[in-house]
């Protein structure tokens, strides 16, 4: 019956909003991003599989994001760095204030595999997550800005090895939630010497709305060049 269907949709929206509010109260938010998906970015949702090359299912099957893993094409002591969600960048919030939140994104699963080619480590990093509609949101496209960074973590501090920024377009439907997934190929860096240094390497994933906002800001127009003064004519002498 139409009335029953409308009631189910209303209950679904109320449950989604309540879940989002609980998430906001339980954990911190990682900035805002209200920009539309950039042209040419990878776009995916629960009905379209994954973006990127390779088999997403194979990458996640039997794989733990942190379990020891030997890099393919290398001697047995060359380990594939684990992947983890960066602290403070695990939640994406679009909109200001609890009741003004349009969408909230979170990660659900990460995976990786590695190959060594000509002395370079080539990582494939898989990311799964979801976007939930907030009290002020509605169905439509959502821009999900992501940052991948390989870091060497030692007692003396952290050293950035390589980093990559990407944006994924996610389409949120009438049910108020959308799953997204992405495989990023070619996160590449030289294998250190000795190879035991790789034990200190970790690949972080996280939301990066600040970079997205910076990219979306209109670039200032260059200041006009001053006009050259006209040269005095010969008749003026």
Per domain, the residue ranges of the chain are 2-216
Answer yes or no: is pLDDT of 31 > 80. no
**Neighbour order of strands in the sheet with 103-117:** 91-94, 103-117, 120-133, 177-190
- Local structure of 66: helix, strand or coil: coil
Average pLDDT of 106-127? 94
Q: What is the pLDDT of residue 27?
A: 35
pLDDT band at 28 (very low <50, low <70, confident <90, very high): very low
Q: What is the mean pLDDT of residues 65-88?
A: 90
Q: Is the dihedral of CA 7, 8, 10, 11 positive or negative?
A: positive
What are the tokens at 190?
């030289």
Q: What's the rounded mean pLDDT across residues 61-79?
A: 83
Q: Using 50, 70 and 90 to split pLDDT, how confident is the model at 67? A: confident
Backbone angles phi, psi at 204, to 5 degrees: -100, 145
pLDDT digits (tens, 9 = 90+) for 137-191: 999 999 999 999 999 999 999 999 999 999 999 999 999 999 999 999 989 999 9
User: Between residues 170 and 48, which one has the greater pLDDT?
Assistant: 170
Q: How far apart are CA 125 and CA 63, in angstroms?
A: 11
CA dihedral 20, 202, 111, 149 (to 10 degrees): 60
Between residues 67 and 16, the one the model is more confident about? 67
Closest CA to 103 of 22, 32, 48: 32
Residue 55 per-residue DSSP state: -
What are the C-alpha distances in Å from 101 to residues 10, 26, 132, 214? 18, 15, 10, 21
């Amino acid at each position: 019956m139409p009335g029953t269907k409308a009631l189910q949709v209303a209950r679904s929206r109320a449950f989604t909003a309540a879940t989002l509010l609980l998430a906001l109260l339980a954990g911190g938010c990682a900035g805002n991003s209200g920009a539309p998906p950039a042209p040419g970015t990878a776009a995916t949702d629960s009905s379209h599989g994954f973006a990127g090359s390779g088999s997403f299912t194979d990458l996640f099957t039997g794989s733990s994001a942190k379990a020891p893993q030997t890099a393919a094409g290398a001697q047995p002591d060359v380990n594939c760095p684990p992947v983890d969600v960066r602290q403070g960048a695990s939640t994406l919030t679009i909109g200001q204030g609890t009741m003004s939140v349009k969408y909230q994104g979170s990660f659900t699963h990460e995976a990786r595999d590695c190959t060594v080619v000509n002395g370079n480590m080539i990582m494939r990093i898989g990311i799964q997550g979801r976007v939930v509609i907030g009290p002020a949101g509605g169905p439509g496209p959502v821009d999900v800005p992501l940052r991948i960074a390989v870091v060497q973590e030692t007692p003396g501090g952290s050293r950035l090895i390589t980093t990559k920024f990407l944006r994924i377009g996610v389409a949120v439907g009438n049910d108020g939630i959308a799953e997204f997934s992405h495989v990023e190929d070619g996160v590449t860096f030289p294998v250190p010497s000795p190879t035991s240094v790789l034990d200190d390497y970790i690949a972080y994933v996280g939301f990066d709305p600040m970079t997205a906002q910076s990219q979306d800001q209109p670039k200032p127009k260059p200041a006009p060049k001053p006009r050259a003064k006209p040269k005095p004519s010969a008749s003026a002498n």
